[in-house]
């Protein structure tokens, strides 16, 4: 077992920290990276679907390449995932600034753009340029002008700071190469009390026909989020295959230790409700 700390450099936040020290109101911009490195491990004997890098005991999945883009737009997806129920659960309003992180071909970006109307904006973040090309085409075909494509990196979504009312991550968090650094960068992009939303296939349910590393349990999501100043708000459990786990940005310094997210009891709902 090898720690990742020496293999991957820390995110350079020194400049931001210096700016924050100088600023009069800085809780939202107090960018102290939590101690990420000790929680990464490299292990042998990993799953073929995994990278061999483990974060808080969970093996990180390989990124889905753009060769799988058609799968994201499969016709049966609407029945399997019910985006018509997911988007209302986000409680977006006209004028909201939202991010669709790991946007893929924009399956959710255009739905979010409709929800926030032309008064609002959707930042569609991707690490694959091929996905962004396809996303741009899809948004143009729909005549949308309020979707901003952004080419991010595995540690930096390149979002404006303190701006987002809501950040959505559908079926992507489990494949973030650097989940801890990404969550920190997303935390910086949220407005005070802005919401960070994980949508993952339910790892508690073996009947859901998705590879294990591409699912996550609510317990693990909350464990990983607990490294950051994020308060759990609710878990929406009404979708056929996924859970929607919602957090709110808090002032820094009050996150729980990993695995000790307060008052968490695993729910008794391990089977598909549909």
Ligand X SMILES: C[S@@+](CC[C@H](N)C(=O)[O-])C[C@H]1O[C@@H](n2cnc3c(N)ncnc32)[C@H](O)[C@@H]1O
The binding site for ligand X (CB under 6 A) comprises 63-64, 72, 101-104, 107-108, 125-128, 131, 152, 154, 157, 170-172, 175-176, 182
Q: What are phi and psi for residue 132, nearest 5 degrees? A: -65, -35
C-alpha 161 chain-centroid distance: 16
Place of tokens 């969970």: 58
Closest CA to 221 of 236, 239, 203: 203
Nearer to ligand X by C-beta: 80 or 205?
Answer: 80
| DSSP state letters, 169-188 | EES-GGG-SSHHHHHHHHHH
Least gap, CB of 109 to ligand X (angstroms): 8
For the purposes of burial, counting CB atoms within 10 Å of the CB of 140, is it exposed (0-12), middle (13-18) or buried (19 or more)? exposed
Nearer to ligand X by C-beta: 69 or 230?
Answer: 69
Nearer to ligand X by C-beta: 72 or 98?
Answer: 72
Nearer to ligand X by C-beta: 99 or 256?
Answer: 99
Least gap, CB of 211 to ligand X (angstroms): 11
d(CA 41, CA 78): 37
d(CA 80, CA 251): 37
Nearer to ligand X by C-beta: 60 or 230?
Answer: 60
DSSP one-letter code for 64:
P
Q: Where are the alpha helices (DSSP H) in the chain?
A: 14-22, 69-72, 77-81, 83-89, 109-116, 129-141, 179-189, 218-225
Least gap, CB of 263 to ligand X (angstroms): 30
Least gap, CB of 126 to ligand X (angstroms): 5
Nearer to ligand X by C-beta: 172 or 189?
Answer: 172
Least gap, CB of 154 to ligand X (angstroms): 5
Least gap, CB of 218 to ligand X (angstroms): 19
d(CA 246, CA 232): 6
């Amino acid at each position: 077992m090898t720690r990742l700390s020496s293999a991957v450099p820390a995110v350079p936040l020194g400049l931001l920290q210096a700016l924050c020290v100088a600023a009069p109101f800085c809780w939202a911009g107090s960018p102290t990276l939590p101690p990420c490195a000790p929680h990464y491990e490299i292990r042998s004997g990993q799953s073929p679907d995994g990278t061999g890098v483990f974060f808080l005991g969970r093996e990180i999945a390989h990124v889905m390449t753009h060769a799988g883009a058609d799968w994201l737009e499969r016709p049966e997806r609407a029945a399997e995932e019910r985006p018509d129920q997911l988007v209302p659960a986000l409680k977006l309003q006209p004028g909201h600034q939202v991010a669709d992180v790991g946007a893929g071909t924009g399956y959710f970006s255009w739905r979010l753009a409709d929800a926030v109307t032309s008064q609002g904006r959707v930042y569609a973040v991707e690490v694959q340029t091929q996905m962004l090309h396809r996303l741009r085409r899809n948004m143009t075909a729909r005549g949308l002008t309020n979707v901003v494509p952004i080419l991010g990196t595995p540690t930096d979504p390149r979002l404006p700071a303190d701006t987002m009312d809501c950040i959505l991550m559908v079926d992507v968090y489990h494949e973030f190469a650097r989940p801890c650094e990404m969550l920190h960068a997303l935390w910086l992009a949220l407005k005070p009390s802005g919401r960070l939303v994980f949508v993952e296939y339910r790892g508690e349910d073996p009947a859901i026909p998705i590879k294990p590393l591409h699912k996550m349990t609510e317990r693990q999501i909350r464990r990983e989020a607990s490294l950051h100043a994020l308060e759990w708000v609710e878990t929406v459990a009404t979708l056929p295959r996924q859970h929607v786990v919602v957090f709110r940005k808090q002032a820094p310094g009050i996150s729980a230790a990993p695995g000790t997210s307060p008052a968490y009891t695993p729910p008794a709902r391990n089977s598909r409700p549909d």
